[in-house]
Amino acid sequence: MGYAAGVGKTYKMLEEVQELKAAGVDVVIGYFEPHGRKDTIAKTEGIEIIPRRKLDYRDSTFEEMDTGAILARHPQVCVVDEFPHTNVPGSERLKRWEDVEVLRAAGIDVLTTMNIQHLESLNDQIWQISGIRVRETVPDWVVQQADEVVMVDLTPRALLNRLQRGVVYERAKAERALQNFFREQTLAALRELALRQAAYEVEHRMVDEETGASSTDGAAVRPRKQHKILVFVTASPKTAMVVRRAKRVSDFLGAECFAVAVQPSGDLSGLPAADREAVERHLNFARNLRIETRILEGDDVASTLVDFGRRNHVTQIFLTRPRRKAWSPTFSRDPMQRVIDLAKDMQIVIVSDREPLPR
Amino acid sequence: MARELRRKTPEEALRECQAEEAVAHKGHLKIFLGYASGVGKSFRMLDEARRRHERGEDVVVGAVQPHVPPEVEPIIRKLEVIPLRTVGNGTAIDVDAVIARHPSVCVVDGLAYNNPPGLRNPTRWQDVRDLLEAGIHVIASINVQYVAELREQVKAITRKHVDQTVPLAFIQDADEIEIVDAPSVEPMEHSPDEQLQAPEYEERLSKLRELALVVTADVVDHQLNEYLECHGIQQNFGAHERILVCITPRANMQEMMEIAQMVAKRFHGELMVAYVKQPNISAADQSALDARLAIANAAGAHVEVLEGDDPAATLLEFARSRGITQLFVGHSQRTGLARLRGSPLDKLIWEGHGMDVCVFPQ
């Protein structure tokens, strides 16, 4: 895990590969992205590389990891660079991390690399920090399945030096990068996020191993009561942001998480097509993050949601910010405002937009 | 941790910006932080020294550990070493010799040693401070166990007391800090002590590892805030979760504080409590309030008493100035006509842009 291109993730991974090889482990490179970096390329010396698979798409030829060939070769350990990569259409699987799941299911150990900005639940915070909407994301549960997460650190100053020396990208690309993503404060904030995530990953693995027993020094405090988080899913484009944040908080608190939409008919058929499509997309998004979803039936959206919460011992409801009514919150028909007024016995979390500073 | 590394007020930041300009001639300090011996700190540090040497920088080694790992030896052979001074049973950096030689960069492996008595400084980190003052850049390494302020936390994990430490402020003020991370099993493979190859040892290492990552994140956060403040950038990145619990004399504080503490702990975040002074409050309310502020203090929260005519606006202004990411507040008790124009809670909800607003049962 790193926080930017050029911090040395692939180099560090290949160093470990060389050690494994020296120790007699059968290790191959399943996918490696050289980016023209000489030091890194030198580290592949003597390691078997499984040739990439060529795929044609829209008059171009793309190269992808040949998962079938790796399975046939069946090494003990396989190196797969750039874990969050999206495969070209026509590949067997949409995402490289899904290919990695296939390799692991076959009993092959995998070493892989990713940057913090590709973690799904941090997508809005990354947008806030860098002004970049990262499209290639990895769901948090996929990263949680890793046996180990190791932070590859480099100070922003050293990274900027590398960039200026042309070690990371060729000159034109390096100059663009320096003006955008690679600004000192952006890098520092991403690095801080990566360090905190790595600390969480270490703690999370300890808590799991302790099978719930609280540790002696209180470093791994368990919640006294079990938290249950309910996400209110609507057609609003801000729903994805609420889902991500709710998932992140529930992971950190060790809570259960549900995502719920409410419709008078109990399904989505009564909605205009665009809204139906949006609600379906949001429910799907939640399911992909391994959140249980439900569509509730009820004419009064807010009270149906709150009743469901009470019956299911929900402790926290996550919402988008209610629309401001100039004249009165008391008689508001905004469902968000109504949920806040109805659920005074529950914790309500109004999730904020996380917006970058305008340049 | 959170209290020592709290966000600075703008005045403090300004003072430090000015202080920084005054010492522009000072050497730069870069620290490699690890969580145990065997994670590869010495190698990473000396590898950087080698690369700098190969790029033409004048690098000397001022101190190495008594037992050098085999992969480090060939690097040391390529570099000029200024031998340690031996005084009685102890050794120390030969500060005078290094200053007389005046290299561009001096490598100091193991920052936390105590010097033998009778030398210019009692500890090695003070020697390093002298080298920096003399305009020599230093790259140094340290284990998280030896950070003075973490001594109690470390003792709870390792059940060992360390008496050679470096103050956190010295590490925070380093120009750069880099963590050397490795899976918890790696130091075990390097451990000469067979008895320590047990699951408890692995757990102990994991806890130290977590601590090292959090300390590094806190130092990065501290430096980031300094950078933003020195450059006048008004931006909250939200990389560090900061929780502000807003209290009133009647707030049901227990649940809010319990959850706030848990959230702060789980996110390795910072916990603050604020109260906006209300005019003419009754004696009963005042004593209820004092009790709540005492609970907050006991919980280790940073407590702030604010003044302002508009409680919601005052809280939001404070929250923004401190980079709050989660605002905890009680449900409004007002109903009907009293809410026609919106309660303070409504205002917090509508205007709390940039932070999650968590509303608690009363």
Closest CA to B247 of B216, B210, B275, B213: B275
Query: What does the pLDDT read at residue A287?
Result: 97
Tell me the CA distances in angstroms from A78 to A47, A65, A72, A74, B269, one per residue in order. 11, 11, 12, 9, 37
- Residue A352 to residue B357, Cβ atoms within 8 A: yes
- Residue B352 to residue A346, Cβ atoms within 8 A: no
Give the helix ranges, DSSP H, for chain B: 10-22, 41-54, 73-78, 95-101, 124-133, 151-158, 168-172, 185-190, 199-230, 253-266, 283-298, 311-321, 344-351
pLDDT > 80? residue A214: no
A116 to chain B: closest CA residue: B239
Query: What does the pLDDT read at residue B251?
Result: 79
A258-269: string of b/e by CB count within 10 Å (b at 16+)?
Answer: bbbbbbeeeebe
Residue entry with tokens 């190859």 = B197
Based on the fold, state whether residues A271 and A164 are members of the same structural domain.
no
Percent of chain A with pLDDT over 70: 92
Q: A314-332 pLDDT, tens per residue? A: 999 999 998 876 566 666 7
Query: What does the pLDDT read at residue B192?
Result: 54
pLDDT class of B20 with cuts at 50, 70, 90? low
pLDDT class of B267 with cuts at 50, 70, 90? very high
pLDDT class of A216 with cuts at 50, 70, 90? very low
Determine the Cα–Cα distance for residues B220 and B177; give it in Å rounded to an integer: 8
SS3 B115: coil
SS3 A228: strand
Residue B210 touches chain A, beta carbons under 8 Å: yes
Assess if residue A211 is contained within a domain.
no
Q: Which of B182, B206, B267 sits opposite A150 (nearest CB)?
A: B182
CA-based nearest distance B328→chain A, Å: 9
pLDDT > 90? residue B357: yes
Residue B30 touches chain A, beta carbons under 8 Å: yes
Based on the fold, state whether residues A137 and A62 are members of the same structural domain.
yes
Residue B190 touches chain A, beta carbons under 8 Å: no
Percent of chain A with pLDDT over 90: 71
- Residue B331 to residue A344, Cβ atoms within 8 A: yes
Based on the fold, state whether residues A291 and A188 are members of the same structural domain.
no
Is the CB of residue A74 less than 8 Å from the CB of residue A108? yes
Sign (positive or negative) of CA dihedral B136, B139, B145, B150 = positive
Query: What does the pLDDT read at residue B165?
Result: 93
List the beta bridge partners of residue B106. B60, B138
- Residue B237 to residue A189, Cβ atoms within 8 A: yes
Tell me the average pLDDT of chain B. 88
Number of domains in chain A: 2
How many C-beta atoms surround the C-beta of residue B171 within 10 A?
A: 24
Based on the fold, state whether residues A147 and A54 are members of the same structural domain.
yes
Mean pLDDT of all residues in B39-65: 93
Assess if residue A292 is contained within a domain.
yes
CATH code assigned at A193:
3.40.50.300
For the record, the structure tokens of B8 come out as 């600075």
Query: What does the pLDDT read at residue B205?
Result: 92
φ, ψ of residue A222 in degrees (nearest 5) = -90, 145
CA-based nearest distance B99→chain A, Å: 26
- Tell me the CA end-to-end span of chain A in Å, nearest whole number: 28
Mean pLDDT of all residues in A159-180: 81
Q: Looking at this predicted complex, what is its ipTM?
A: 0.89
- Residue B262 to residue A253, Cβ atoms within 8 A: yes
Tell me the CA distances in angstroms from A18 to A21, A151, B68, B252, B344, one per residue in order. 5, 19, 22, 59, 62
Percent of chain B with pLDDT over 70: 89
Q: Which of B235, B356, B362 sits opposite A350 (nearest CB)?
A: B356
Tell me the CA distances in angstroms from B60 to A161, B107, B130, B141, B171, one per residue in order. 22, 6, 16, 15, 22
Assess if residue A358 is contained within a domain.
no
- Residue B359 to residue A348, Cβ atoms within 8 A: yes
CATH architecture, range B10-230: 3-Layer(aba) Sandwich (3.40)
The better pLDDT of the pair A182, B7 is held by A182
Based on the fold, state whether residues A177 and A247 are members of the same structural domain.
no
pLDDT > 50? residue B2: no
Residue A330 touches chain B, beta carbons under 8 Å: yes
Is the CB of residue A27 less than 8 Å from the CB of residue A15? no
Determine the Cα–Cα distance for residues A172 and A158; give it in Å rounded to an integer: 19
Chain A neighbors of B206, CB-CB under 8 A: 202-203, 205-206
Sign (positive or negative) of CA dihedral B317, B318, B322, B327 = negative
A201 to chain B: closest CA residue: B210
Determine the Cα–Cα distance for residues A79 and A32; give it in Å rounded to an integer: 8
Where do the CATH 3.40.50.300 domains begin and end in chain B? 10-230
pLDDT class of A175 with cuts at 50, 70, 90? confident
Percent of chain B with pLDDT over 90: 59
Residue B286 touches chain A, beta carbons under 8 Å: no
SS3 B118: coil
Residue A211 touches chain B, beta carbons under 8 Å: no
Could you list the residue range(s) of the whole structural domain that residue A55 is in? 9-205
Assess if residue A357 is contained within a domain.
no
pLDDT > 60? residue B45: yes
User: Which residues are within 8 A (CB) of B166 and not within 5 positions of it... i.e. 6 or more apart?
Assistant: B111, B112, B123, B125, B142, B146, B147, B148
Assess if residue A179 is contained within a domain.
yes
Q: Which of A125, A158, A253 sits opposite B238 (nearest CB)?
A: A125
Assess if residue A334 is contained within a domain.
yes
Given A205, A220, A251, which residue is the final one in a domain? Answer: A205
B45 to chain A: closest CA residue: A154
- Residue A125 to residue B239, Cβ atoms within 8 A: yes
pLDDT > 70? residue B338: no
Based on the fold, state whether residues A78 and A132 are members of the same structural domain.
yes
Residue among B51, B220, B255, B340 with most chain A CBs within 10 A, to mutate: B220
Residue A280 touches chain B, beta carbons under 8 Å: no
CA-based nearest distance B15→chain A, Å: 20
For the record, the structure tokens of A192 come out as 């801080």
CATH architecture, range B242-360: 3-Layer(aba) Sandwich (3.40)
For the record, the structure tokens of B168 come out as 């956190």
Determine the Cα–Cα distance for residues A341 and A343; give it in Å rounded to an integer: 6
The better pLDDT of the pair A109, B192 is held by A109
Residues composing chain B: 362
Q: Which of B156, B266, B357 sits opposite A217 (nearest CB)?
A: B156
Query: What does the pLDDT read at residue A105?
Result: 97
Based on the fold, state whether residues A144 and A24 are members of the same structural domain.
yes
pLDDT class of A269 with cuts at 50, 70, 90? confident
Q: B100-157 pLDDT, tens per residue? A: 999 999 999 989 999 999 899 999 999 999 999 999 999 999 999 999 999 999 999 9
pLDDT > 60? residue B252: yes
Query: What does the pLDDT read at residue A222?
Result: 47
Phi-psi bin for B223: left (phi > 0), alpha (psi -120 to 50), beta? alpha
- Residue B356 to residue A216, Cβ atoms within 8 A: no
pLDDT > 90? residue B21: no
List the beta bridge partners of residue B246. B274
Based on the fold, state whether residues A246 and A139 are members of the same structural domain.
no
- Residue B342 to residue A155, Cβ atoms within 8 A: no
Q: Which of B181, B217, B335 sits opposite A150 (nearest CB)?
A: B181
Determine the Cα–Cα distance for residues A213 and A208; give it in Å rounded to an integer: 9
Assess if residue A222 is contained within a domain.
no
Per DSSP, the residues of A240-265 read HHHHHHHHHHHHHHT-EEEEEEEETT
Residue B262 touches chain A, beta carbons under 8 Å: yes
SS3 A272: coil
Q: Which of A188, A330, A344 sits opposite B227 (nearest CB)?
A: A188
How many C-beta atoms surround the C-beta of residue B44 within 10 A?
A: 19
The better pLDDT of the pair A237, A37 is held by A237
Based on the fold, state whether residues A192 and A282 are members of the same structural domain.
no
Residue B15 touches chain A, beta carbons under 8 Å: no
